[in-house]
A and B are shown apart, each in its own frame.
Chain A
Amino acid sequence: MMSRELRQRFDVLVVGGGPAGMAAAVCAAESGVRVGIVDDNANLGGQIWRGEFQDGRTKDAARWTEGLQAARVTALCGMRIFDQPEQGVLLAEGLNDLFELRYESLVLATGARERFLPFPGWTLPNVMGAGGLQAMVKCGLPVRGKRVVVTGTGPLLLAVAAYLRKHGAEIPMICEQASWSSLARFGASLFGHRNKLTQGLQLRREVAGIPFFAKSWALSAHGRQSLESITVSRRGKTENVPCDYLACGFHLVPNIELPLLLGCRIKAGCVEVDDLQRTNVSKVFCAGEPTGIGGVELSLVEGQIAGLAAAGCPAEAKQLFGQRERARRFADLLERTFRLRPELSRLPVPETIVCRCEDIPYSHLRPHTSWRAAKLHTRCGMGPCQGRVCGPATQFFFGWDADSVRPPIFPARVENLATLAGQTELQHSETPGGLA
């Protein structure tokens, strides 16, 4: 099917419709400029506010959704950006449409994805990301009566377990890789973050009765056509646990592919920004998880600052600096508490698939010294996900950094690549991830 070509022009274009992007769009639009917000998903809200419309919206989600409508922001959903043909122009692909989006200023609020740590059996159907399984349940996956083990690290595990149980799942256990001593220190530090303490206590009530193990994780998953059971490490002992789903959450990783494509400077895996959320690229701002994982509150305040700054209102933006500082301190605390323990990098066996797109096992990657070498020699990261899953895994296992991207940053249909090619012929379709 040929794509329809559509053109739109905005004073401020926001990429990403999660909390940071919504806040940026509302703040920019309220100052009177023409604002568009584009997102890959069918609805705005990002991952955290996904499905809020079915579940009863949280106060924040409702506030910002209404703000978007009131401020007359143009929302373009179900569209993924795959290239920048020239500065100030982005190309996005919808189901049947090709969009050319022109902007004066750009706010990148591309969010984060989950980090997956390969272990034997992790490729079985029904082994999923913790946030991923929650997203699926929000979109209608029934889990009533299903046994779901939650493994990984951080407060997300509790939130996911509480959510799944509310939807009828049985949670045999939560396996948290952090030790009791660091969890205890974290608990004590919460007294310095009043609203987080309240949230934490609320969460604890919601998971009451679910067995919670510290310094524990899934060693392997077993099943024929899909997951049937897992082996868990618990205080150095192993235990077999039958289950229907395994939800794995080993932190989030910023989505920096688009910032990289635009030439934004990256530091330790995150987009570098100044006080006003400006990147090193002129008129390109960045807010939320891509500047450093910090959660919804930090995302909202960074989004507001970026939106105001992008619309030319730096004075208003500066009034939010204090709020951002407080949210950042909490993010740092999370980072320290839930740092991944080195034992987890020894989970794969030689046959364990690391790159799921190309089925590349751990043993083929081990001899290489860099992400680039592994890609060239094994095709690791060359499939449709373009290393979005195996990249962060090899970063943790081997310390490899994936620091460059090539367009299209998402697989795009050949006719759309051809449209933009014009001058470059069809060579883009030969690049990794091009889907015919």
Chain B
Amino acid sequence: MLSDVTVMVNGRPVTVPSGTTVAIAVVIAGQACRTSVNREPRGPLCGMGICFECRAAVNGQPHCRSCQMLCEPGMEVRTDE
């Protein structure tokens, strides 16, 4: 059986099965991934690393495509910067 992983999304813990992508943890947390140029909330669109709508800061590294990254224990994800 797969184990669970807990990541922090904007400072709040989200627990997901291992193998879950960071984008999904953000969606489960009820957060938008990014805010657009016109200040609109945006979430994942393509789900496969093409559209860059799911980009977020992961462990301090900005602009990560969260749909292409797997959750790792203790990961810090920020979508509010």
Contacts and interface: CB of A to CB of B under 8 A. Distances in A.
Interface of A: 1, 40-42, 47, 54, 78, 80, 95, 113-114, 116, 123, 125-129, 131-136, 139-142, 225-226, 255, 353, 356-359, 383-385, 388-389, 411, 435-436
Interface of B: 2, 16-17, 19-21, 23-24, 27-28, 32-33, 36-38, 40-53, 55, 61-63, 67-70
Contact of B68 (A41, A385, A436): A41
A136 B51 CA distance: 14
A125 B47 CA distance: 12
B24 A136 contact: yes
Given A123-B40, A141-B27, A128 B52 contact: no
Interface centre among B47, B62, B67, B68 (most CB of A within 10 A): B47
**Interface residues of B: mostly helix, strand, loop or mixed?**
loop
A132 B24 contact: no
A417 B24 CA distance: 30
Given A136-B24, A359-B36, A42 B44 contact: no
A225 B32 contact: yes
15 contacts: A1-B61, A114-B46, A125-B32, A125-B41, A127-B45, A132-B47, A132-B48, A136-B27, A139-B67, A141-B28, A225-B41, A384-B55, A385-B50, A388-B51, A411-B52
A353 B38 CA distance: 10
B44 A389 contact: no
A132 B44 contact: yes
Contacts, number: 114
Contacts of B41: 125, 225-226
**Interface residues of A: mostly helix, strand, loop or mixed?**
loop
Contacts of B68: 40-42, 78
Given A140-B24, A383-B52, A129 B36 contact: no
B47 A356 contact: no
Contacts of B67: 135-136, 139
B24 A125 contact: no
A191 to B, nearest CB: 34
B20 A435 contact: no
B26 to A, nearest CB: 10
Contacts of B51: 356, 385, 388-389
B46 A139 contact: no
A362 B34 CA distance: 22
B36 A123 contact: yes
Nearest to A134: B47
